[in-house]
Amino acid sequence: MRGPVGRWLSPCRVAFVALFLATACRAALPNSPIAEIGVAANLTCARTLDRRVFCWGRNAQGELSGYPSRDRRAPIEISLPPVATLALGSTKICVVLSDGGLMCWGTTHASGWTLLDARPPAAIPGLQPITSAALGDHFGCGVERGGLVRCFDDDPFPESSWSGAMPPIVLPTSARAISVGGKHGCVLGNDGTVACWGDNTLGESGQPPQIDTRQPRTVSDLNHVVQVAAGSQYTCARTSDGLVRCWGSNYFGQLGDGSTAGHYTPRPVLGLRQAIGVAVGDAHSCAWTRDGSGWCWGFNSEGQLGNGTRRDSPVPVRVPLAAPVQQMAVSGNGAFSHSCALVADGAIYCWGYNDSGQLGDGTRVSRLSPTRVRW
């Protein structure tokens, strides 16, 4: 376009206007307590009790807003309908809406790790109202209100060639919750068992290598499960007795059993008792316990364990936090991972890799110990 209007509509101005109109992002201090946090590769999000969503970190390819813009070192609000819960993947963000719908945005993968065009927030078709959702590196799933699970690939948007959610997955029992890892998924059944499917190269689906895991199979010797968390190539489950049991890849001690030997059978994390939550990523894990303490173990090249060192640990190390932990979240980004914790006074602390401002402290400096998110 030429003339005065064309000169005004420079590429920068067009990008800014599109970003503003499509997402209405703005920096703001929430006037409602934080209810939930979530992390992905190089970004972090929080949901407030009044169902708003704030995110910060990498946005060069539209990860935060759906439109490429500058990275954000402090939280910005994402304009959305009321949100019930978060679901973050490696380069995409999804939210379960209060009405049971699912909206997603961010970038998508082609073959390998090539990033395709960014997408603004859009509703995902083909799903009945859902109660929860989970995203992995290559696919995502939602649990419908009747306990059925439907999954979608990495580009589930209406304008793509893909036509909608897949048929329900055949499960041994109806699903209570779901978690998706790198190339595998696991469901927590209403009977307290766990069934996994997908990649099982390193035992992450909880089966011997020769077993076909294209369909969900129940993980043996695992009962009374109250939470399941699927990582890149490993999985952890929290049971009603407060123990956490993990299986799969263990190159960096992410299974927490004191070794670096992988296995497909669930084994307890050493020294961890009275756990009330667990979070897993690519190669490190975190859990929080009834006494309010936070613990992490596994890979620690960028301080993602939060204990002030860069030393890997095959057993849990305590994270120094000033207030009792209510939730922890772990990113799946290999050596460039970070971790965050929501504590009882409503503050969020993050630590680890920080090249895009994902720690939210206003810098790009990686931290070996927790730093408070600045609003």
Between residues 68 and 173, which one has the greater pLDDT?
A: 173
- Least confident residue range of 133-137, 204-208, 220-224: 133-137
User: What count of Cα atoms within 13 Å lies in the side-chain half-sphere of residue 261?
Assistant: 5
Q: What is the pTM of this model?
A: 0.88
Strand arrangement, sheet containing 53-57: 34-40, 43-48, 53-57, 72-78
Has residue 334 got a pLDDT over 90?
Answer: no
pLDDT for position 181: 93
CATH classification at residue 344: 2.130.10.30
Residue type present at position 43: L
3-state secondary structure of 54: strand
Distances (CA, A) of 59 to 98, 183, 243, 347: 26, 25, 37, 23
Q: For the segment 284-329, what is each residue's pLDDT rounded down to a tens digit?
A: 999 999 999 999 999 999 999 999 999 999 999 999 998 999 999 9
- Place 107 in a pLDDT band, splitting at 50, 70 and 90: low
Model confidence at 118, pLDDT cuts 50, 70, 90, reads low
177 occurs within a structural domain: yes
Rg of the chain taking only CA atoms, in angstroms: 20
Q: Which domain holds residue 101?
A: 34-372
- DSSP reduced 3-state for 166: coil
Q: What is the pLDDT of residues 54-99, one digit of tens each?
A: 999 988 777 776 666 789 999 999 999 999 999 998 778 889 999 9
The continuous run of DSSP H or E covering 94 comes out as strand 92-97
Cross-strand pairs, 229: 236
Q: Please state which of the ranges 111-120, 175-184, 248-257 shows the lowest mean pLDDT.
A: 111-120
Is 1 domain-assigned? no
Can you give 1-31 as a three-state secondary structure string?
Answer: CCHHHHHHCCHHHHHHHHHHHHHCCECCCCC
* Partners of 66 in beta bridges: none
Residue found under tokens 């489950």: 237
Closest by CA to 370, choosing from 346, 345, 344, 343, is 343
Establish if 7 belongs to a structural domain: no
> Is the pLDDT score of 23 beyond 80?
no
Question: Which of residues 107 and 3 earns the better pLDDT score?
Answer: 107
Q: Mean pLDDT lowest for which of 22-36, 185-199, 240-254?
A: 22-36
Over 90: is that where the pLDDT of 14 sits? no
Q: Which residue has the higher pLDDT, 41 or 10?
A: 41
On whether residue 55 sits in a domain, the answer given is: yes
**52 alpha-carbon distance from chain centroid:** 18
What single letter denotes the amino acid at residue 74? Answer: A
Strand, helix or coil at 334?
A: helix
Residues belonging to the chain: 375
Mean pLDDT of 27-39: 84
Give a yes or no: residue 343 inside a domain.
yes
**Contact criterion met (CB below 8 Å) for 232 and 182:** yes
Q: What is the pLDDT of residue 282?
A: 93
Q: What digits encode the pLDDT tens for the residues 121-162?
A: 888 877 889 999 999 888 889 999 888 998 887 544 434 333
Provide the b/e sequence for 23-34 (b: ≥16 CB within 10 Å).
bebeeeebeeeb
Share of the chain above pLDDT 70, in %: 84
Give the full edge-to-edge strand order of the sheet including 139-144: 130-135, 139-144, 149-153
DSSP code at position 229? E
What does the pLDDT read at residue 89?
84
Report yes or no on 113 lying in a domain: yes
- What pLDDT is stored for residue 4 in this prediction? 41
Q: What is the pLDDT of residue 296?
A: 98
- Distance, in Å, from the CA atom of 169 to the CA atom of 141, rounded to the nearest integer, reads 10
List, in sequence order, every residue forming a beta bridge with 227; answer none if it has no partner: 238
User: What's the rounded Cα separation, in Å, for the pair 364 and 331?
Assistant: 17
Determine the average pLDDT of the residues in 197-209: 94
Q: How many structural domains is the chain composed of?
A: 1
Lowest mean pLDDT among 4-18, 40-54, 199-213: 4-18
Q: Name the average pLDDT for the chain.
A: 86
Q: Which residue, 212, 374, 213, 352, is CA-closest to 281?
A: 352
DSSP 283: S
Q: Half-sphere exposure of residue 157, counting CA atoms within 13 Å on the CB side?
A: 20
